[in-house]
Amino acid sequence: MFSKKTLAHHIGSRTNEFWGWCFVAFGCISFLGFLYTAIISNLLPPSQNSVIAAIQNDRYYCMLVPITLPVLVVAVYFHWLSMKLFKHA
């Protein structure tokens, strides 16, 4: 049915697909954790749990995204500029 080369390629592609889904799942979980930390925890009533109370009283992460956006715009502009300079050099 499969030659050795085709079978190895099929197994390799299944492994790559597995790791791809693992990275996507990790990214989604990280995003949801950050979303809870930055936005949702501040909207909830005060908690008796010390970890959740520390997250609710933290002011660093809720300001991280608004402060990072201007830096991201500058970084994207420099990326675009370097691509244009490389393409027309």
pLDDT tens-place string over residues 7-56: 556 666 788 889 999 999 999 999 998 888 888 888 889 989 898 888 88
Assign 6 a pLDDT band (cuts: 50, 70, 90). Answer: low
Handedness of CA 39, 40, 45, 50 (dihedral sign): negative
The burial of 37, by beta-carbon neighbours within 10 Å (0-12 exposed, 13-18 middle, 19 or more buried), is given as: middle
Average pLDDT rounded to a whole number, residues 80-84: 95
**pLDDT value at position 39?**
83
**pLDDT value at position 77?**
97
Q: Would you say the pTM of this structure is higher than 0.75?
A: no
**pLDDT value at position 89?**
75
Q: Are 11 and 29 in contact (CB under 8 A)?
A: no
